[in-house]
């Protein structure tokens, strides 16, 4: 039996032994004597009697081990033409001081802090400062509109908001402060304070109740780590649900630290002192886990990159960062590589840089199409590893465990289930499907440490959304199959979640925005294939009887409405006015059929269709035929 198979079997046969052993990599103020607490199943908790501080584990303990001079963080910002490194000692000092500043504003263990910051060191510092106090951070991605921010403020009910005055996109400066102000106008909840980091490029207006970051830290004294229960929340990260209300994914302290530390060695083959780079954003789970927590928990060096794969300044940006900082492995989304490939198909930029120590490229966030896989593999000459996970799971469900035992790659497959994840493919009745047959991918409970224990403030919503479809299983929302060798192939979502440039969005919430336009009678939004971004949203609207608005004006208003209510990140630009939408006899809109036609597939007409001529009339529009 290989190392992978041995670990996998042990993790399922003896989860207590497996995870208590992994817990040995973490420094506890009270070490756990038990791993799994199933007393409130189907809500499971890990390490119920353990106590620790995540910020201490990410920073102080490395300094106490004599590694204070090791580089913890490299901030590389081509959009501001600035690079700065922080040693573990420097980062700890900044974190402790800002934790003191948060404490001065009344933030205590269990309080929530909304973080609306771009890819700057202060984002990492704020997250770790919250963790230091046992406060719960909730980072909101900068590309979301005020309404989305307001929904998160109302759900998390933060004591304090930490924001920057602006973010820097290649094409423009994004003013963050007016977005925060507008969100606070919309929100019912009132935080006590907004701490504003003034960036010199575009300072923001300080209003009543606002305090500048520099003033907040000026008189602060450093705060020590506050021990918390392993089961206490470390953060809440909102992700797209099927309704307009985002789901607050809860991450605990103990299970998270244990699982992430374990993955750095076993999955990513990264050791203390190695330089690791995740090109994502702290607003997404990938950024939480693999820009901030995992690399610091093991004492590696993490790169924080404020830039894009192309245009900052060119398609060689990624290779420059790898070369400048001696990056051993890069983790990004396939869309980033497609962006590079589009501009520089021959990878001519690559020849300008030495990538001597670069050993592996990890990709996730969306399906890795075989063409991108082959291009990256051929140009870079290193293993290209696809792996599959979700905001909810916090770390990969299926991957090639490079540190444990590198397995042969099959393009199109994310490889095998990692220890702790009992992945099964089920049919509509919940029966297990044989190898090769596609169905719903479900995970037998309990989920391993680090996966979400629940949704913020709403156990029932967690149970209803994830645990009710198949008894005893977590529903991933993805479909796929497992082949005869146990390799998992993830094919796509079964719900209305779409993936635009690695960003997870809900077509349901876009439909809600379109439907609120006074001229729109009904609408559908589908995710259609896009060669660069993987998917793009496309809207179809039917006018109310008697509506006189011209299609061009309506289209402009609907595009603006999505940008205003959801944000630029939705990349919604394509909407058609149609006579009718195809439906089943019971009135269900045939979104899947429309998506298939838009993607150029030979989609069978469902036998339940109410009026096939409606679909026929839509075909040329869906295929965008002239």
Is there a contact between 63 and 92 (Cβ–Cβ < 8 Å)?
Answer: yes
321 within 8 A of 287, measured Cβ to Cβ: no
Give the residue, chosen from 365, 417, 439, 450, that forms a contact with ligand AMP under the rule CB under 6 A: 365
Q: What's the min distance (Å) between Cβ of 520 and ligand AMP?
A: 28
Residue 239 within binding range of ligand AMP, rule CB under 6 A: yes
Q: Is 478 a binder of ligand AMP (CB under 6 A)?
A: yes
Alpha-carbon distance of 38 to 31, in angstroms, equals 19
Residues 6+ apart with CB under 8 A from 135: 102, 107, 108, 109, 110, 111, 112, 113, 159
For the CB of residue 115, give the shortest distance to ligand AMP in the complex, in Å.
18
Residue 45 lies near ligand AMP (rule: CB under 6 A): no
- Which of 302/335 has CB closer to ligand COA? 335
Greatest Cα-to-Cα distance within the chain, rounded to the nearest angstrom:
75
Residue 369 is a binding residue for ligand AMP (CB under 6 A): no
- Looking at residues 276 to 315 of the shown chain, list those that interact with ligand AMP (rule: CB under 6 A): 285
Contacts (CB under 6 A) with ligand COA, residues 319-338: 333, 335-336
Task: Name which of 229, 267, 192 is nearest 3 in CA terms.
Answer: 267
Q: Give the nearest distance from C-beta 522 to ligand AMP in angstroms.
A: 27
| Residue 167 makes contact with ligand COA by CB under 6 A | yes
Alpha-carbon distances, residue 65 vs 73, 161, 363 (angstroms): 18, 34, 33
**Pair of tokens at residue 153:** 């403020």
- Residue 60 near residue 225, CB atoms below 8 Å: yes
Question: CB of residue 503 vs ligand COA: minimum separation in angstroms?
Answer: 6
- Which C-beta is closer to ligand COA: that of 253 or that of 280? 280
Q: What is the DSSP letter of 491?
A: E
Q: Does 232 bind ligand COA (CB under 6 A)?
A: no
Shortest distance, position 480 Cβ to ligand AMP, whole Å:
8
Residue 178 in contact with ligand COA, rule: CB under 6 A: no
Stretch that binds ligand AMP, among 100-108, 274-282, 361-369, 509-517 (CB under 6 A): 361-369
- Cβ atoms of residues 557 and 543 within 8 Å: no
Question: H or E segment at 177?
Answer: helix 176-186
Q: Which does 568 bind (CB under 5 to 8 A by kind): ligand COA, ligand AMP, none?
A: ligand COA
Q: Residue 424 binds which entry of ligand COA, ligand AMP, none, with Cβ cut-offs from 5 to 8 Å by kind?
A: none
| Distance in Å, CB of 495 to ligand AMP, minimum | 9
- Select the binding partner of residue 598 from ligand AMP, ligand COA, none (C-beta < 5 to 8 A, by kind): none
Q: Phi, psi at residue 77, to the nearest 5°?
A: -125, 85
Of 135-143, 297-305, 401-409, 462-470, the window that binds ligand COA (rule: CB under 6 A) is 135-143
Q: Does 593 bind ligand AMP (CB under 6 A)?
A: no
Pick one of ligand COA, ligand AMP, none as the site partner of residue 414 (Cβ within 5 to 8 A by kind): ligand AMP
Contact partner at residue 538 from ligand AMP, ligand COA, none, CB < 5 to 8 Å by partner kind: none
In the complex, what is the shortest distance from the CB of residue 294 to ligand AMP, in angstroms, rounded to a whole number?
15
Residue entry with tokens 């297990």: 432
Restricting to residues 350-379, which ones interact with ligand COA according to CB under 6 A?
365
Q: Is position 481 an interface residue for ligand AMP (rule: CB under 6 A)?
A: no
Q: Are 306 and 118 in contact (CB under 8 A)?
A: yes
Taking the complex as a whole, the smallest distance from the CB of residue 532 to ligand AMP amounts, in Å, to 17
The answer to the question of residue 280 lying near ligand COA (CB under 6 A) is yes
As a dihedral over the C-alpha atoms of residue 23, residue 24, residue 30, residue 35, rounded to 10 degrees, the angle is: 30
Residue 155 makes contact with ligand AMP by CB under 6 A? no
Residue whose pair of structure tokens reads 């094919």 in the numeric block: 491
Categorise residue 526: left if φ over 0, alpha if ψ from -120 to 50, beta otherwise: beta
Q: Is 264 in the site for ligand AMP (CB under 6 A)?
A: no
CA dihedral 395, 368, 325, 214 (to 10 degrees): -60
Distance (Å, whole) CA 163 – CA 328: 32
**CB closer to ligand COA, 127 vs 425:** 127
According to DSSP, residue 205 is labeled P
Which does residue 167 bind out of ligand AMP, ligand COA, none, counting CB within 5 to 8 angstroms by kind?
ligand COA
List 199, 367, 402, 583, residue binding ligand AMP (CB under 6 A): 367
- Nearer to ligand COA by Cβ, of 98 and 572: the residue is 572
Q: Are 385 and 402 in contact (CB under 8 A)?
A: yes
Least Å distance, CB 95 to ligand AMP, is 26
Is 308 a binder of ligand COA (CB under 6 A)?
yes
Structure tokens at 117: 């910051």
- Map residue 236 onto helix, strand or coil: strand
Question: CA–CA separation, 281 vs 392, rounded Å?
Answer: 17
What's the Cα-to-Cα distance from 432 to each of 388, 428, 437, 482, rounded to whole Å? 20, 10, 10, 11
From residue 562 to residue 601, the character string flagging contacts with ligand COA as x (rule: CB under 6 A) and all else as - is ------xx-x------------------------------
Shortest distance, position 367 Cβ to ligand AMP, whole Å: 4
Residue 477, interface with ligand AMP (CB under 6 A)?
yes
d(CA 231, CA 110): 12
Radius of gyration of the chain from Cα atoms?
A: 24
Binding mask 374-403 for ligand AMP (x = CB under 6 A): ------------xxxxxx------------
Q: Kindly identify the residues of this chain, within the stretch 476-505, that bind ligand COA according to CB under 6 A.
A: 501-503
| 110 CA to centre of own chain | 23
The bridge status of strand 160-164 relative to strand 112-116 is parallel
Q: Does 174 bind ligand COA (CB under 6 A)?
A: yes
Q: Which stretch binds ligand COA (CB under 6 A): 169-177, 206-214, 264-272, 377-385?
A: 169-177
Q: Is residue 496 classed exposed, middle or buried when 0-12, 13-18 and 19+ CB atoms within 10 A define those classes?
A: buried
Residues 6+ apart with CB under 8 A from 67: 88, 272, 299
Alpha carbons 623 and 571: distance in angstroms, whole number: 19
d(CA 608, CA 2): 49
Q: Which residues are near ligand COA by CB under 6 A? A: 118, 141-143, 167, 169, 171, 174, 280-281, 284, 286, 308-310, 333, 335-336, 339, 365, 501-503, 568-569, 571
Q: Which residues are near ligand AMP by CB under 6 A? A: 239, 285, 364-368, 386-391, 414, 477-478, 490, 493, 499, 504
């Amino acid at each position: 039996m290989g190392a992978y198979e041995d670990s996998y079997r042990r993790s399922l046969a003896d989860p207590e032994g497996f995870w208590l052993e992994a817990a040995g990599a973490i420094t506890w103020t009270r070490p756990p004597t038990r791993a799994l607490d199933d007393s409130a199943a189907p809500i499971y908790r890990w390490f119920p009697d353990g106590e620790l501080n995540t910020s201490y584990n990410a920073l102080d303990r490395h300094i106490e081990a004599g590694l204070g001079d090791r580089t913890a963080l490299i901030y590389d910002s081509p959009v501001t033409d600035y690079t700065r490194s922080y040693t573990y000692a420097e980062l700890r000092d900044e974190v402790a001081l800002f934790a003191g500043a948060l404490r001065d504003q009344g933030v205590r263990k269990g309080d929530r802090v909304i973080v609306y910051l771009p890819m700057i060191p202060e984002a990492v510092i704020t997250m770790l400062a919250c963790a230091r106090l046992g406060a719960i951070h909730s980072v909101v991605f900068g590309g979301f509109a005020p309404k989305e921010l307001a929904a998160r403020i109302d759900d998390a009910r933060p004591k304090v908001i930490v924001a920057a005055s602006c973010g820097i996109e290649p094409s423009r400066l994004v003013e963050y402060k007016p977005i925060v102000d507008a969100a606070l106008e919309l929100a019912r909840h009132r935080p006590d304070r907004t701490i504003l980091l003034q960036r010199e490029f575009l300072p923001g207006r300080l209003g009543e109740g606002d305090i500048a970051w520099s003033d907040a830290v000026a008189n602060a004294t450093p705060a020590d780590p506050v021990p918390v229960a392993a089961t206490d929340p470390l953060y809440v990260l909102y992700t797209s649900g099927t309704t307009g209300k985002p789901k607050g994914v809860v991450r605990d302290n103990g299970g998270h630290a244990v699982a992430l530390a374990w993955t750095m060695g076993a999955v990513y083959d990264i050791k203390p002192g190695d330089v690791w780079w995740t090109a994502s954003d702290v607003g997404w789970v990938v950024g939480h886990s693999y820009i901030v927590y995992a690399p610091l928990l093991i004492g590696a060096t993490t790169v924080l990159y404020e830039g894009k794969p192309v245009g900052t300044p060119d398609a060689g940006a990624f290779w420059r960062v790898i070369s400048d900082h001696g990056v051993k492995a890069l983790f990004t989304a396939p869309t980033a590589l497609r962006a590079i490939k589009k501009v520089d198909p021959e990878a001519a930029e690559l020849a300008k840089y030495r990538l001597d120590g670069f050993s592996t490229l990890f990709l996730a966030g969306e399906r890795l199409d075989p063409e991108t896989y082959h291009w990256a593999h051929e140009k870079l000459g290193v293993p290209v590893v696809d792996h599959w996970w979700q905001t909810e799971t916090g770390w990969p469900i299926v991957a090639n465990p490079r540190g444990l035992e590198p397995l042969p790659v099959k393009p199109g497959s994310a490889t095998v289930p990692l220890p702790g994840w009992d992945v099964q493919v089920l049919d509509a009745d919940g029966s297990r499907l044989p190898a090769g047959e596609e169905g719903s991918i479900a995970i037998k409970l309990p989920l391993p440490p680090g996966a979400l224990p629940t949704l913020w403030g709403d156990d029932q919503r967690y149970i209803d959304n994830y645990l009710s479809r198949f008894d005893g299983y977590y529903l991933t929302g993805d479909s796929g199959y497992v082949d005869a060798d146990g390799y998992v192939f993830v094919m796509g979502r079964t719900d209305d979640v779409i993936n635009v440039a690695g960003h997870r969005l809900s077509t349901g919430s876009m439909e809600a925005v379109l439907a609120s336009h006074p001229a729109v009678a009904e609408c559908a939004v589908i995710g259609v294939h896009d060669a660069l971004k993987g998917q793009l949203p496309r809207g179809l609207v039917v006018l109310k009887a008697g509506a006189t608005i011209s299609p061009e004006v309506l289209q402009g208003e609907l595009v603006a409405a999505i940008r205003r209510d959801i944000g630029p990140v939705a990349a919604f630009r394509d909407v058609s006015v149609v006579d009718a939408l195809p439906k089943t006899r019971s009135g269900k809109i045939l979104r899947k059929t429309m998506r298939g036609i838009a993607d150029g597939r030979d989609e069978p007409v469902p036998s339940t269709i109410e009026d096939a001529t409606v679909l026929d009339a839509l075909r040329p529009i869906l295929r965008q035929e002239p």
